[in-house]
Amino acid sequence: MSTTLAIRGGRVIDPANGVDAIADVLIAEGRIAAVGPDAGRDASQTIDASGLIICPGFVDIHCHLREPGFEHKETIATGTLAAARGGFTTICAMPNTEPPIDSAGMIEFILRTAQSQGAVRVLPIACVTRGRAGRELADLAELAQAGAVAFSDDGAPVACRSSPHAPSARVRGHAGRARHQPLRRPLPLGRWSHARRLGLDPPWSSWRSHRG
Ligand SMILES: [Zn+2]
């Protein structure tokens, strides 16, 4: 018989499923098997959650794992452990590392390291511009294909003339020279900037921003 774990008697708050009630959460084979009153009655292990709140894992859409380049501050292993301790099961890692996350190879490094050393799911956010220098757009299409879920030059403004509302991909022309070409379809990904810090008017101010 497989091991089952029940978190019993807590207040289950699950907005996606419209649940806000005192209930048990039954876990079998590492997955939620049932939620409801007495759902965990026959579980082989129980955790008493009376007086506590039980939620789905939180998602942090803006965090800094600092690896590579600043491992003395944080690593993917330590940052994801801290996330897990705080109830976060998915975190989005900002790209202001050294080197910055501006290539498919860097995206792959983050995903590979998170897979082998991380405690929670890590979704990489890639740079808007190459080297996070604010001048030349990174290859957004390639970064998205590699696994980037959003773009940001976190901590630095973007001076590139291309509109954030008409993203373009850096492609190779016939002569092998780099040029910018509008994407057929906008990338369905998020964007973060520090536009507010610069006091810029819309559309820039519609970008997500933070003070960190
Ligand atoms: Zn930040």
What does the alpha-carbon distance between residue 189 and residue 201 come to, in Å, rounded to a whole number?
A: 22
d(CA 104, CA 170): 13
Q: How much is the pTM?
A: 0.72
CA of 122 from ligand 1 middle (Å) equals 15
The alpha carbon of 14 and the centre of ligand 1 are apart by a number of angstroms equal to 28
The two tokens of residue 126 are 């890639």
Structural domains of the chain ordered from first start:
4-54 (2.30.40.10), 58-206 (3.20.20.140)
The dihedral sign for the CA sequence 80, 81, 86, 88? positive
CA atoms in the 13 A half-sphere facing the CB of 70: 13
> What's the whole-number average pLDDT of the chain?
82
How far, in Å, from the CA of 170 to the mean position of ligand 1?
25
The CA R_g of the chain, rounded to the nearest whole Å, is 21
Q: How far is the CA of 161 from the centre of ligand 1 (A)?
A: 23
Residue 151 in contact with residue 189, Cβ under 8 Å? yes
Instruction: Give the angle subtended at the CA of 110 by the CAs of 136 and 137, to the nearest 5°.
Output: 10
Give me the pLDDT at residue 202, please.
Answer: 43
Contact by Cβ (8 Å): 3, 42: no
Measured distance CA(172)–CA(126) in Å, rounded: 20
CA of residue 16 to ligand 1 center, whole Å: 27
pLDDT in tens, 67-105: 999 999 999 999 999 999 999 999 999 999 999 999 999
pLDDT more than 70, % of the chain: 75
Residue with tokens 């007086």: 51
Could you read off the pLDDT of 155-209 as tens digits, one per residue? 888 875 554 444 444 333 233 333 344 444 555 555 555 444 444 444 444 445 4
Give the Cα separation of 139 and 23 in Å (integer).
48
CA of 153 to the centre of ligand 1 (A): 9
Q: Mean pLDDT over residues 15-36, rounded?
A: 94
Distance 64 CA to ligand 1 centre (A): 7
* Alpha carbon of 121 to ligand 1 centroid (Å): 18
